[in-house]
Structure 1
Amino acid sequence: MDGVTSPIPAEARTHIDDLAAFVTASPSSYHAADESFRRLVDAGFTALDETEAWRIEPGGRYVVLREGSVIAFALPDGAGATTPFSIVGAHTDSPSFKLKPKPTKTGAGGWWQLGWEVYGGPLLNSWLDRELELAGRIVTSSGDEHLVRTGPIARIPQLAIHLDRQVNDGLTLDKQRHTTPVWGLGDAESADIVARFARDAGVAPDEIGGFDIVAADTQTPRTFGADEALFASGRLDNLLSTHAGLTAILKARPAENIAMFAAFDHEEIGSASRTGAAGPFHEEVLTRILGALGGSDEDRARSFARSLHVSSDVGHAVHPNYSERHDPANQPVAGGGPILKINGNQRYATDAHGAASWNAACRSAGVPTQEFVSNNTVPCGSTIGPIAATRLGIRTVDVGVPILSMHSARELTAVVDPWFLSRAMSAVLAR
């Protein structure tokens, strides 16, 4: 299938501009969930408190926020105890670095440095020589949570070629020694990044009881290339899918099923947390919705048996410099529409029924689609799809958008593909 290059529809450009704004507002999973929650509440979704009893009405629209995860849903007018769900799922976190306890230290030459650990599987070399910010949440001893972000503050400096003449023959980075960033110079007594977070949050440093802080690239997302058909940005994995699902649920007016958008934290490190797809959050929300509609365990089983979950994460476009790493027959191209992910070992959850449902949604939306399957010698990653399918028993299909430079500090996609994905998701949620 040939990629779509020109002309780029105006709606696609509007979508990519909003994706750029969403990424800019979301340097951490906590910011991404909070920005999604804010947009949904502003659009009229009713916020639900997990500590309170839920009153769910047919025809209503609701949203619940749990730290770095968010779930929103819209009910059809005829919703009842056995109404099935149409779900689009994604994740809010991205490969990065996460601050360790006692993160401030000083290095040789009077440099202020930060202690952090690798989060997920970033392409380490892509993070070198970039102006990075720190973002996430601090929690005070009283339990109050504050979102914080520093703006450009840190940089991982690469060793000059004069001090490593063989660097272009192969770069190997020690994760402990070579990824430590610099963020200042001078008196070591003044080097206190936690105090900086406290100042930004308006609290005293000794009030901070804990923090979850990650690094994020600060370069502005932008379109470029011939006809401005390409889009480069940090955190496309997986804010691209989060934004597409958010856009779809904001427009959703479901006919028969309960339309749901679910975005989870911690996918990049296995999803095993109270806010991850392997945790209880999703099942608890689904159960509480049906319970509020008068459903029993039997009713829930009947609902789940007729439900569909579309798990969306970015995938690999054919790389022009490494085409031998891809399957010779199934080669997704940028601009060719969203991809259907298939794996015989169930690293993706797609089966024949799920594929048929996804292809029908794409046809309904007028969206091109293409398949992705790995080269047999290059094992694929995985997604929230198999995890959700295993935990919930809901039929799940894995999809996404083809990109280059996955897990880089800055990734690349075609301008039209995120818009195509959101349109297909809208068709799923319209059921």
Structure 2
Amino acid sequence: MIITPDVRAHAQALLDFIDASPSPWHAVAVMARALEAAGFRELDEAQTWSLAPGARHYVIRGGSSLVAFIAGLQPVEEAGFRIVGAHTDSPGLRVKPRPADTAGRLIRVGVEVYGGPILATFADRDLGLAGRVSLRSAQGVETRLVLLDRPLLRLPNLAIHMNRKVNEDGLKFNRQTELPLLLTSVGDAPADDVFLRLLGAAAGCSAGDILGVELNAFDTQRGAFWGANEEFIANSQLDNLASCHAGFVALMGAAPSPVTCVGAFFDHEEIGSESAKGAAGSLLSDVLERIVQAGGGSREGLRRGLARSLMISADMAHAFQPNFPGAYEPGHLVAVNAGPVIKSNVNQRYATDGVGAARFAHLCERAGVPYQMYCHRSDLACGSTIGPMTAARLGLDVIDVGNPMWAMHSIRESAGVLDHAYLLRVLHEFFAG
């Protein structure tokens, strides 16, 4: 296995992106800065849009979802859209609105479980806090990103002497009573004041001005290369920031073409996408319709354009872990560092059909990239993606694909160095036409 400096650089850029994006709000802020540097300009949904052919723009909704696009040189109704979709959120622990309490002589931070994380992997990790706070200001309410990027919180395991069967029964946590994160020792100040002072210092405001919080715990350990030849990578949030990174980097490198190229990066996929900024909401359809209208087109023109369009829903895939062979469909064993995966499910948990699978396979062949096929075991429940809901909402062809990875929904996931470069090449080819 040969890992060239260029391939390693792509993987390092991914790790850097994840390390800078410990929350969905940070991920969107990082993408927005990169897009601005690449000549994209932000549009406000509350303003009238005027778009020139070849113009580069992006839209942010709710701080944690972003749609970027390069306007086509031909009208959408004649050339259609090429869309890459992914999601900015990852499963984990979200801080409750009033989280601080005392137990014994310790202050704890109460959390809710967001999505479906492997809870045991959050134990005994150096956890920080990231997200945003809303505070009173002269203009009314202002929102600021906050990042406490140091070992601040911890979920210590119960000693085996008090949990003798943990190795036989597995590590389990009661979500209400056993997941609060330890913060500090009790002092003279009330627990709420201690917590808000930390946030105020991070946000550059008075603790008393904070009116709302949206925060998640995150692993402060940085991403790393591992393996005998450093052919693997490990980090949090590979699902699905790896797909976001490949999507927006490929879009930034796309040249103006007849087709309108779009990158859509949604929050709330891990909890069903039913929100104003989720993939089941109106964000993508609103943006696509306004692109058509800004070019002088009609609603009929939008429907004509969608009929000529194709979307790749990029979300990570399950790689074969040889210690657990019984968890996999024997005829579809996906390997790390063997190329992106075409994901299929007859019950439409993935949107790919036979024609879509063939189109992506042909795209990989054009890009000189290997590809793989994934099907879930018939006796296990299959996860889903933004693909089926986007296909249903917009009425366009969608292909579900993703790079192979291990330990999906762990706080520390793993994937292959080669695969990220492979997916970038395929998405570059997709946007190039």
Give the Å deviation of 1:190: 5.2
- Residue 87 of structure 1: which of 77, 83, 86 is its match? 83
Contact residue 254 and residue 429 of structure 1 kept, 8 A: no
Counterparts of 2:224 and 2:46, CA distance in 1 = 41
Q: Deviations over 1:40-89 (max 9, x none)?
A: 00111121111111111101111111210111111233345543000000
Q: Hey, what does 2:424 align to over in structure 1?
A: 422
Between the aligned residues of both structures, percent identity stands at 41
- Residue 121 of structure 2: which of 99, 113, 126 is its match? 126
Contact residue 76 and residue 253 of structure 1 kept, 8 A: no
Give the Å deviation of 1:427: 1.1
Q: Hey, what does 2:394 align to over in structure 1?
A: 392
Counterparts of 2:280 and 2:16, CA distance in 1 = 29
Q: Deviations over 1:177-222 (max 9, x none)?
A: 2221101113162533223112221222222221211111111100
Contact residue 41 and residue 63 of structure 1 kept, 8 A: no
Contact residue 268 and residue 275 of structure 2 kept, 8 A: yes
Give the Å deviation of 1:281: 0.7
Counterparts of 2:51 and 2:78, CA distance in 1 = 14
Consecutive unaligned residues in structure 1, runs of 5 or more: 1-5
1:245-324 aligned at under 5 Å gives the runs 245-324=247-326
Q: Hey, what does 1:138 align to over in structure 2?
A: 133
- Residue 335 of structure 1: which of 324, 334, 337 is its match? 337
Consecutive unaligned residues in structure 2, runs of 5 or more: none
Q: Hey, what does 1:210 align to over in structure 2?
A: 212
Contact residue 82 and residue 300 of structure 1 kept, 8 A: no
Matched, 1:101 2:97: yes
Contact residue 127 and residue 218 of structure 2 kept, 8 A: yes
Following TM superposition, the consecutive aligned residue runs of length 4 or more in structure 1 with deviations greater than 2 angstroms are 75-83
Give the Å deviation of 1:10: 2.1
Contact residue 112 and residue 188 of structure 1 kept, 8 A: no
Give the Å deviation of 1:256: 2.4
- Residue 71 of structure 2: which of 69, 75, 79 is its match? 75
- Give the letter for the 1:181 counterpart: L
Contact residue 76 and residue 259 of structure 2 kept, 8 A: no
Moved more, 415-424 or 396-405: 415-424
Q: Hey, what does 2:41 align to over in structure 1?
A: 46
Q: Deviations over 1:237-290 (max 9, x none)?
A: 100100010110110114321111110001000001111001111110000001
Contact residue 92 and residue 239 of structure 1 kept, 8 A: yes
Counterparts of 2:122 and 2:221, CA distance in 1 = 12
- Aligned Cα root-mean-square deviation (Å): 1.2
Counterparts of 2:188 and 2:11, CA distance in 1 = 43
Counterparts of 1:78 and 1:300, CA distance in 2 = 13
Structure 1 length normalisation: TM-score?
0.96
Counterparts of 2:122 and 2:413, CA distance in 1 = 12
Give the Å deviation of 1:357: 1.9
Counterparts of 1:279 and 1:76, CA distance in 2 = 24
Contact residue 76 and residue 302 of structure 2 kept, 8 A: no
3-state secondary structure, aligned to 2:79: coil
Counterparts of 1:199 and 1:400, CA distance in 2 = 39
Contact residue 137 and residue 146 of structure 1 kept, 8 A: yes
Moved more, 348-357 or 280-289: 348-357
Counterparts of 1:248 and 1:273, CA distance in 2 = 27
1:102-251 aligned at under 5 Å gives the runs 102-108=98-104, 110-141=105-136, 142-151=140-149, 152-170=151-169, 171-187=171-187, 189=189, 191=191, 192-251=194-253
Q: Hey, what does 1:3 align to over in structure 2?
A: none
Moved more, 420-429 or 231-240: 420-429
Moved more, 413-422 or 23-32: 413-422
**TM-aligned CA distance change 1:188 to 1:309, over 3 Å:** farther
How many residue pairs get aligned? The number is 425
- Give the letter for the 1:193 counterpart: F
Moved more, 135-144 or 365-374: 135-144
Q: Hey, what does 2:21 align to over in structure 1?
A: 26
Contact residue 352 and residue 399 of structure 2 kept, 8 A: yes
Q: Hey, what does 1:412 align to over in structure 2?
A: 414
Counterparts of 2:331 and 2:420, CA distance in 1 = 24
Contact residue 80 and residue 294 of structure 1 kept, 8 A: no
**TM-aligned CA distance change 1:254 to 1:338, over 3 Å:** farther
**TM-aligned CA distance change 1:49 to 1:388, over 3 Å:** same
Counterparts of 1:51 and 1:196, CA distance in 2 = 34
Q: Hey, what does 2:350 align to over in structure 1?
A: 348
Structure 2 length normalisation: TM-score?
0.96
- Give the letter for the 2:48 counterpart: A
Contact residue 77 and residue 303 of structure 2 kept, 8 A: no
